[in-house]
Amino acid sequence: MAPDGTASDAPLSMNVNVSPPAIEADRLTKRYGDAIAVDGISFSIAAGTVTGLLGGNGAGKTTTIGMILSLVAPTAGRVNVLGFDMARDAYRVLHRMNFESPYVDLPHRLTVRQNLSVFGRLYGVKNIAERIARLATDLDLKDFVDRASGKLSAGQKTRVALAKALINEPDILILDEPTASLDPDTADWIRGHLERYRENKNATILLASHNMGEVERLCDRVLMMKRGKIVDDDAPAKLVARYGRQNLEEVFLDIARGRGAANKETAQ
């Protein structure tokens, strides 16, 4: 795929290596009337990796995630998850995926245990009680597992949302700003848990975040989006080196403010 996000000429099948990519987008496009939210992006995410999806507000991250989850129908192009076309075969793979976002909530009046129990059943989890107990230990939910979800603090809610996203031990975990509005300690704690989860389960994680430190720590690779296109794609350290910057935040600012090309040339 070209780094500017334009489609490669190779068909999807030619991109398949030994094992199929966990997520593969091909000329993925979303238009709302005249506005283009996602503009023909193509990318492939290898299984067992953590990929960051970065970009300013309105860059197309959430729409891209929506299309991967089959919540949004693409205008053109397609997205495959674990080899299944999400427009046609989403139900063959949704039980192996999960999602967490601060913009989606769990029913407030239900206790944490009730919510996790409901989603455990929806995902066909065996031994739900055991699974909830395990998550309560891993994510430190024990003190409030029988409290109404709506009465929790922001940090507690985020941990519960993450527990819901992990209830089915997904192969594909999609996180939209998983540590937004958290204090540094809780955010660090969540990142640690995600790192362990990826290692233990060989899970694929797609992470949209505005926290560049988080992305540098967790991600093997970063897709930089701007105005619906992927404008750069590399490992965080390589991006920093290529742009001749100190950290990913400076790279992000370069790209967001249109200084990317000039800096890359200078660095090279």
Partner 1 sequence: MSAATSPAFSFSRIFAMVMRHWYLLRSSWPRLLELIYWPLVQMLMWGFLQSFMAKQTGLLATAAGTFLAAVLLWDILFRGQLGFSFSFLEEMWSRNLANLMISPLRPIEFVLSMITMSVIRLIIGVVPVTFLAMYFFGFNFWGLGFALGAFFANLLLTSWAIGLLCAGLVLRNGLGAEGLTWSIMFLFLPLTCVYYPVATLPVWLQPISWALPPTAVFEGMRALVLENAFRADLMLWALALNIVWITLAGWGFMKLMHSSKRMGSLLSVGE
Binding site for partner 1 (CB under 8 A): 30, 32, 37, 47, 62-63, 66, 69-73, 82, 91-92, 94-99, 101, 103-111, 114, 117-124, 148, 164, 169, 171, 202
Q: Which is nearer to partner 1, 75 or 263 (CB)?
A: 75
Nearer to partner 1, 110 or 235 (CB): 110
In three-state form (DSSP H/G/I as H, E/B as E, the rest C), the secondary structure along the chain is CCCCCCCCCCCHHHHCCCCCCCEEEEEEEEEECCEEEEEEEEEEECCCCEEEEEECCCCCHHHHHHHHCCCCCCCEEEEEECCEEHHHHHHHCHHHEEEECCCCCCCCCCEHHHHHHHHHHHCCCCCHHHHHHHHHHHCCCHHHCCCEHHHCCHHHHHHHHHHHHHCCCCCEEEEECCCCCCCHHHHHHHHHHHHHHHHHHCCEEEEECCCHHHHHHHCCEEEEEECCEEEEEECHHHHHHHHCCCCHHHHHHHHHCCCHHHHHHHHC
Nearer Cβ to partner 1, position 72 or 240? Answer: 72
* Nearest-10 Cα torsion for 120, 125, 130, 132: -30
**Least distance (Å) from partner 1 to the CB of residue 150?**
9
- Min dist. Cβ of residue 37 to partner 1 (A): 8
Q: Which is nearer to partner 1, 117 or 209 (CB)?
A: 117
CB of 66: closest distance to partner 1 in angstroms?
5
**Both tokens assigned to 170:** 């997904």
For residue 204, the minimal CB distance to partner 1 (Å) is 9
Closer residue to partner 1, CB minimum distance, 172 or 239:
172
> Is 54 or 94 the residue whose CB approaches partner 1 more closely?
94
Strand partners, 266: none
86: CB partners within 8 A, 6+ apart: 67, 68, 69, 70, 78, 79, 80, 93
Q: Closest approach of Cβ 126 to partner 1, in Å?
A: 10
Shortest reach from residue 191's CB to partner 1, in Å: 23
Q: How far is the CB of 96 from partner 1 (least distance, A)?
A: 7
Q: Which is nearer to partner 1, 98 or 209 (CB)?
A: 98
